[in-house]
Amino acid sequence: MSWSERLKELGIELPGVAAPLAAYVPAVQSGKHVYTSGQLPFVDGVLAATGKVGAEISPEEAKGHARTSALNALAAVHALVGIDNVTRIVKVVGFVASAEGFTGQPAVVNGASELLGEVFGDAGIHARSAVGVAELPIGSPVEVELIVEVQ
């Protein structure tokens, strides 16, 4: 089964590629790898939420926003090389805008990791960083970037 068929089976539709907020592109390919820029939880061109996790945003809500950010990263990969050319997810980096004292970043970034596992199975197993930060662009609670191997 192709990845695009797997997405359909799961009832997941890749969104359009989010427009960059500054001087960069959503994804670039170098050799057999695609590197995405950090993706925010945009839905239909609108940031889904603003605020810090552990204050205005609950960890469970943030986990959903990490999932949305990962979908946006996959959309950038798909637009560049086609989702069916992915051979594995190599690395996920998740940034979480964290309220003082919030230390649950790994559980938040699981929203991205679990989505990739659902879609890619064993090929979705990846290395990962989950980083707490003071602020993210335009007040986003999360940001996710991917490194993906392609054929």
Please, are residues 13 and 122 in contact by the beta-carbon 8 Å criterion? no
What predicted TM-score, i.e. pTM, was given to this entire model? Answer: 0.97
For residue 77, the model assigns a pLDDT of 98
For residue 82, the model assigns a pLDDT of 98
For 71-85, the pLDDT digits (tens) are 999 999 999 999 999
Mean pLDDT within 114-132? 98
Quickly count: other Cβ atoms within 10 Å of residue 80's Cβ: 19
What are the structural domain ranges in the chain? 3-13+29-150
φ, ψ (nearest 5 deg) of residue 134? -75, -40
The DSSP line for 20-64 is: PSSSS-SEEEETTEEEEPPB--EETTEES--S-BTTTB-HHHHHH
The structure tokens listed for 35 are: 């590197």
Q: Grade residue 61 by pLDDT with cuts at 50, 70 and 90.
A: very high
Q: What is the CATH number of domain 3-13+29-150?
A: 3.30.1330.40
